């Protein structure tokens, strides 16, 4: 049975989103909320844990590939004739890795891996993004929004979810991203002998 105040709950969810930092700037004086659902999507805990445990392995694979300068040149070169952005990136990569001096850098991989959970085939990686953590904080806020809606609209929330949606998976994206960036900044300062305060 459709809940009669779904529109009211949706509007309240949008207001909550915009007042809790879930906003994407549109123009110099306006913003909109990112796409979100009113309830989380169900996933079996063993399947979720398996996906979670695969992420470090995926990160190691991506890191190893990114450190193979010859591979990067060979893999990206074919598309540079039709894509000026990748052409410029490949040129920078070549200057960094094939110059007369070794590259002075500390790699920082901030990745987002998007999976789709197929009922028959299981979870499949559909997109990998390196240095694409922008949606991570939104994921945490959407998680908080779901908790809010489960308390504010408990009866329709259960109906919308279609399952017992009280067992939330903890989402710590904001803190984990900040921790990773802070650790990388400290490592870079140590490697290059910079004595001053860390700056971002």
DSSP code string of 65-114: HHT-HHHHHHHHGGGGGG-HHHHHHHHHHHHHHSSSS---------EEEE
Nearest to 38 by CA among 20, 23, 16: 16
Q: Is the pLDDT of residue 138 over 80?
A: yes
Average pLDDT, the chain: 84
Write out the two tokens for 59.
């990160």
pLDDT category of residue 55 using cuts at 50, 70 and 90: confident
What pLDDT score was predicted for residue 200? 57
Residue with tokens 């085939």: 121
What pLDDT score was predicted for residue 79? 92
Percent of the chain exceeding pLDDT 90 equals 24
3 state DSSP class of 199: coil
What pLDDT score was predicted for residue 174? 84
Model-level pTM? Answer: 0.71
Write out the two tokens for 146.
């779901």
Q: Is the pLDDT of residue 2 over 60?
A: no
Nearest to 55 by CA among 106, 114, 137: 114
Residues in CB range of 198: below 8 A, 6 or more apart: 182, 185, 186, 189
Cα dihedral 170→175→176→179 (10° resolution): -160
What pLDDT score was predicted for residue 197? 73
Higher-confidence residue of 106 and 145: namely 145
What pLDDT score was predicted for residue 7? 86
Nearest to 107 by CA among 72, 58, 137, 62: 62
């Amino acid at each position: 049975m459709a809940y009669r105040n779904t529109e009211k709950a949706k509007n309240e969810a949008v207001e909550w989103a915009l007042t809790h930092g879930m906003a994407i700037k549109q123009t110099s004086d306006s913003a909109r909320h990112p796409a979100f659902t009113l309830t989380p999507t169900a996933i079996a805990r063993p399947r979720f844990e398996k996906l979670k445990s695969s992420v470090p392995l995926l990160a190691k694979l991506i890191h190893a590939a990114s450190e193979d300068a010859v591979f990067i040149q060979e893999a990206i070169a074919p598309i540079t004739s039709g894509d000026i952005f990748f052409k410029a990136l490949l040129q920078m990569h070549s200057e960094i890795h094939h110059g007369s001096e070794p590259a002075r850098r500390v790699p920082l991989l901030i990745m987002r891996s998007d999976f789709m959970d197929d009922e028959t085939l299981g979870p499949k990686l559909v997109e990998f993004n390196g240095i694409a953590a922008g949606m991570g904080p939104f994921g945490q806020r959407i998680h908080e929004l779901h908790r809010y809606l489960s308390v504010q609209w408990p009866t329709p929330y259960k109906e919308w979810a279609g399952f017992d949606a009280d067992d939330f998976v903890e989402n710590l994206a904001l803190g984990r991203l900040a921790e990773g960036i802070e650790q990388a900044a400290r490592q870079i300062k140590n490697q290059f002998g910079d004595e001053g305060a860390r700056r971002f």
